Structure 1
Amino acid sequence: MRLRPFALSVVAVSALLLSGCAGAGSDAPSPDASGAADLCAAVADSGAASEAATVTGEVGEPSKLVFDAPLEVADRQVTVVEEGDGDKVEAGDFVSYALTAFNPETGEEIATAGYEPGEMLPAQISADSPLGETFGCSPVGTRVVAAFPKTDDTDAEIYVLDLLSVVPTAAWGEPQEPVAGMPKVTLADDGAPTVTVPEGDLPTETTLATLKEGDGYEVQSGDAVLIQYWGVRWSNGESFDSTWAKGGVPYAQRTTSFVPGFQKALEGYPVGSQVLVVIPPVDGYGEGEINTTDLVGETLIFVVDILGAQHIPAQ
């Protein structure tokens, strides 16, 4: 059974990163009036297949779906089972959601994901994303039954999906006291950091400080994470890379894809945290003469906001 992109916690993580999470440097869908109208209109009409199933269970908890199998799914259909009472989502929002998937041929439950911490990354919603086609501009707390016909790439499927929350694009954890000797960090209203390099000797080991302490799932090695970051060269105090400077769109990737020092600012920290890390060359891009074309020999400073995580079991 091949599941659709929004069910990606039960398939390969490489596909997960295509689920609507924008990467660094990409632009978020515009949340203007026309974008909102497009998002609201993106949802499929209700139909015989999506209306044929009876849902049991509370929103925010795993559900059961009962229907007479086999269930014929002729086209894309969405039926609202319960409309939420939260704010309506907008194009470009990152949302957390959960689902239970069923086989329309047999009625068998295939998978449940997103109801426990660390099971699903937040995803960006737009009119042309799988989530936009399913929830549109629904309010948070909405539950739907969605039926999808067979395609060349996927089997016919039927889901119960819950829209759980809109995820902030900056860390929301409890602010912590500054650590003496570490770079100074100030935050703009949108959460974008400014870093001031301290005077003194270069650190010889990776040094970390928690700026905001989250209360979510604790990131493990190899997990996929959704982050914002701001990177600065110690040598001149200038930023060399930043999601904030590229539209403020969070970036999704596995922890093990980063240099060792950056990994240390992710693994072991709970979602919602903001972490300050100073990375010497040994944990960065290696020793050598500092230059303007790459980061060899450079001591690096990063401010990292951990917005979401999905556990990826070791192979």
Structure 2
Amino acid sequence: MIPTLKVVLVRRILLATVAATSLVLAGCGGSDSGGGGLDDVKVSSAKSPKVTVDKGFKASKTTTKVLKEGGGDALASGDAVKVNYVAVNGRTGKQFDSSFKSDKPLTLTLDEKAILPGFVKGLEGKNIGSRLLVAIPPKDGFGKAQSQLDIKKNDTMVFLFDIVSKVPTEVSGSAKKLPGDVPKIVFDADKHPSGFSKTSKTAKKITKQSANVVIHGSGEEIQQGQTLTAQYVGQVYPDGAVFDESWTSSARSFQVGAGQLIKCWDEQLVGQKLGSRIVLVCPGDKAYGKTPPEGGKIKKDDTLIFAIDLLDAS
């Protein structure tokens, strides 16, 4: 259970939240001549490219056409990757989103629980630096109408993707000691944080939130409203149940400082440097308070503690 609770248009609606129905990962799509195929789609050479799709374009399966082969590593399942994109509705031939205009790449994690199935099928196995066209049929897309985007249930979407870069998988920087009253990090066999154990000085009750830097990264400061990609583990303070973690699956992305996360994350992560590992201690009023997630391991007013690796922001 990620602490993110909402999805917003348009960049966020293209991603599935953990609370959404799990998506099925499949292999890369092959060629598909349905609806004229991607050979009939035209892409301009402008800095902010125009993608021309004939009205009524349909695809029966996710199809990828490589327009330019990149020289970087191939993308694999679980990779977090930055892409620029143009999105077009095949039914209308109209563009409904583009990251090129804002020059802010979207970060996607190639994970069955994180994004639309068509994104995984279209991008997995492709090289960094590549430009692709990807046709995504309804079964690999939203699966239902999206009135905000004028997308109907049976619409095919066409995406132009520029694969910009991979997101780092590990943090690096100068090590810092945790204060003696903060629970110690417990590590798994791969040396990733897996929880916490209390110390003899650990306070039983916490009233103020705190952010403790244990690896000081040298990246840029996280800005309010950015999409952060991170690995983390969350536990009931001081050494209670671990209620969520990402290291055994893949990094996750969420918007910070925009009211979509618990207050502690929004208030304490903005301004931290990328490449850092942060231990957050979040008292109940800065976590879930009186309304913890139903059916979970968090009770009303529980204090929570997190170890978070800040990998990337865009």
Same structural fold, with TM-score higher than 0.5 when normalized by the shorter chain: yes
Q: Which whole-Å CA distance do the structure 1 matches of 2:179 and 2:116 have between them?
A: 47
Residue correspondence of structure 1 range 63-212 to structure 2 within 5 A: 63-65=48-50, 70=54, 73-75=57-59, 77-101=63-87, 110-113=96-99, 119-125=105-111, 129-147=117-135, 152-153=152-153, 158-168=158-168, 171-181=170-180, 182-185=182-185, 187-188=187-188, 189=190, 191-200=192-201, 202=203, 203-212=206-215
Q: Is the 8 A contact 2:23 2:116 kept in 1?
A: no
Shift of 1:81: 0.9
Distance 1:178 1:118, change over 3 A: farther
8 Å contact from structure 2 (residues 170, 309) kept in 1: yes
**How far apart are 1:257 and its partner, in Å?**
4.2
Contact preservation (8 Å) 2:14, 2:116: no
CA–CA separation in structure 2 for the residues paired with 1:304 and 1:129: 27
Decide whether aligned partners of structure 1 residues 262 and 121 sit closer, same or farther in structure 2, where only a CA change above 3 A counts.
same
**CA 54–220 in structure 1, closer or farther in 2 if over 3 Å, else same:** closer
Query: What is aligned with 1:264?
Result: 267
User: Are the aligned partners of 1:101 and 1:158 in contact in 2 as well (CA < 8 Å)?
Assistant: yes
Letter in 1 for 2:49: K
SS in 2 for 1:122: strand
Q: Distance in 2 between matches of 1:104 and 1:192?
A: 44
Residues 1:211 and 1:85: Cα distance change in structure 2 (over 3 Å): same
How far, CA to CA, are the matches of 2:19 and 2:253 in structure 1?
6
Q: How far does residue 129 in structure 1 lie from its aligned partner after superposition?
A: 1.2
Show structure 2 runs of 5+ residues with no match. 1-6, 139-150, 291-295
TM-score after normalising by structure 2:
0.66
Partner residue, 1:32 = none
Change (3 A) 1:217 1:231: same
Question: How has the CA–CA distance of structure 1 residues 124 and 23 changed in structure 2, closer, same or farther, with 3 Å as cutoff?
Answer: farther
In structure 1, runs of 5+ residues without a counterpart are 1-7, 30-37, 311-315
Give the whole-Å Cα distance in 2 for the aligned partners of 1:10 and 1:141: 27
Question: Residues 83 and 105 of structure 2 are in contact (CA less than 8 Å); yes or no, is this contact kept in structure 1?
Answer: no
Q: Select the structure that is richer in helix.
A: 1
Of the candidates 232, 237, 240, which is equivalent to residue 238 of structure 1?
240
- Equivalent residue letter for 1:248: S
Is the partner of 2:266 in helix, strand or coil? helix
Indicate whether 1:215 and 2:215 are aligned. Answer: no
Aligned AA (2:75)? V
Which residue does the alignment assign to 2:143? Answer: none
Q: Secondary structure at the match of 2:177?
A: coil
2:55 and 2:91 in contact (8 A); partners too:
yes
Q: Is the 8 A contact 2:236 2:298 kept in 1?
A: no
| Structure 2 match to 1:35 | none
* Distance in 2 separating the partners of 1:217 and 1:153: 40
1:82 Cα deviation from its structure 2 partner: 0.9
Matched-pair contact (CA < 8 Å) for 1:102–1:109 = yes
Number of aligned positions between the proteins: 278
Tell me the distance in 2 between the aligned counterparts of 1:285 and 1:178: 28
Distance in 1 (CA, whole Å) between partners of 2:163 and 2:129 is 5
Aligned mates of 1:73, 1:27 — CA distance in 2: 24
Residue 231 of structure 2 aligns to a residue whose secondary structure is strand
- Secondary structure, in 3 states, of the residue corresponding to 2:27? helix
Query: What TM-score comes out, normalization by structure 1 length?
Result: 0.65
What does residue 305 of structure 2 align with? 301
Question: Does 1 or 2 have the higher relative contact order (CA < 8 Å, sep 6+)?
Answer: 1
Q: Tell me the residue number matched to 2:286.
A: 283
Q: Secondary structure at the match of 2:106?
A: coil
**Is the CA contact (8 Å cut-off) linking 1:148 and 1:157 kept in structure 2?**
yes
Separation in 2 of the partners of 1:131 and 1:307?
A: 21
For residues 177 and 24 of structure 2, the distance between their equivalents in structure 1, rounded to whole angstroms, comes to: 32
User: Could you tell me how far 1:231 is from its partner in structure 2?
Assistant: 2.5
Using the TM superposition, give the Cα deviation of residue 297 of structure 1 relative to its aligned residue in structure 2, in angstroms.
Answer: 5.4
Deviations 1:187-238 (A, max 9, x none): 44363344342332625421211233362572425x6544432233444x23
Q: Contact between 2:222 and 2:269, CA under 8 Å: does it hold in 1?
A: no
Instruction: Kindly provide the CA deviation profile for residues 287-307 of structure 1, in whole angstroms up to 9, marking residues without a partner as x.
Output: 9xxxx9744454432112334
